[in-house]
Amino acid sequence: ETGVTQSPTHLIKTRGQQVTLRCSSQSGHNTVSWYQQALGQGPQFIFQYYREEENGRGNFPPRFSGLQFPNYSSELNVNALELDDSALYLCASSWKTSKVDEQYFGPGTRLTVT
Amino acid sequence: GQQVMQIPQYQHVQEGEDFTTYCNSSTTLSNIQWYKQRPGGHPVFLIQLVKSGEVKKQKRLTFQFGEAKKNSSLHITATQTTDVGTYFCESGGSYIPTFGRGTSLIVHP
């Protein structure tokens, strides 16, 4: 098991609401990436945070935003939820200067939007 | 990001048979990573390939990176029921990490 934790495990929200998901990175890791994984698909990159700043973003609208804290933990915020936002949200931590692009994934948060 | 196509989408095998999944890109990849995701689980890093023509082995798993660095494969010899899961390739060189759709391996005992 990795040291990456996510909360909550499951969440049900109504369309139009806002949600905050949390991630604690593995000890010693300074980078957190967030992914959205729909059923039967590969993880889709949302964005990455390094040294508390966004350091790369995938094809997601601005209503997906994030934060990274000094202890390298991170939040993903999604505003104005849509039905298509229902998915497994994964965070992954890594060490930016590592020679190997190895990411350690957390168990994920299953978000259902009704 | 660098798009990667992964085939097949599903593969049913009898326990003891071999299995291969392929990852293809139209552009040259800086590197490629392979992950395994068990049903209901999260992706777990398996390996990274960086060099043209690189071959790496982990017990019954063999990973290859093409000479042109546009394709990669994962081959499992003599599958076991513990190999069940979805195998993803991921290209991350541009640092917009892009995962393939994955190949789901189903092993029949």
Helix (H) or strand (E) holding A44: strand A44-50
The reported pLDDT for the residue numbered B35 is 97
Q: State yes or no: pLDDT of A51 exceeds 90.
A: no
Average pLDDT value for residue range A95-110: 84
Which residues 6+ apart lie within 8 Å of B90 measured at CB? A42, B4, B32, B33, B34, B35, B97, B98, B99, B100
Dist CA A64 CA A53 (whole Å): 15
pLDDT of residue B8: 97
- CB-nearest to B99 from A40, A42, A108 is A42
CB contact (8 A) between residue B102 and residue A48: no
The pLDDT-based confidence of A100 (bands split at 50, 70, 90) is low
| Confidence band for A99, pLDDT divided at 50, 70 and 90 | low
Asked if A45's CB is within 8 angstroms of B98's CB, the reply is yes
CA-to-CA dists, residue B109 to A6, A28, B9, B12, angstroms: 34, 41, 21, 11
Report how far residue A3's alpha carbon sits from residue A6's, in angstroms, rounded to the nearest whole number: 10
Quote the minimal CA–CA distance from B10 to chain A in Å: 11
Chain B residues interacting with chain A (CB cutoff of 8 angstroms): 1, 6, 31, 33, 41-45, 48, 88, 90, 92, 95-102
Tokens of B27: 């552009």
Nearest residue, CB atoms, B102 vs list A33, A42, A56:
A42
- Record: contact A48-B101, CB cut-off 8 A: no
Is pLDDT of B7 > 60?
A: yes
CA proximity to B32, closest of B86, B106, B82, B87: B87
pLDDT tens readout for residues B48-63: 999 999 999 999 999 9
Tokens found for residue A68: 């990274």
Instruction: Measure the CA–CA gap between A113 and B70, rounded to whole angstroms.
Output: 38
Q: Say which of A58, A92, A101 has its CB closest to residue B48.
A: A101
Task: Name the residue among B106, B20, B109, B100 with its Cα closest to residue B64.
Answer: B20
Using DSSP, state whether A83 is helix, strand or coil: helix
A62 preceded by cis ω (within 30°)?
no
> What part of A 19-48 touches B (C-beta under 8 Å)?
33, 35, 40-45, 48
Residue A104 forms contact with B (CB below 8 Å): yes
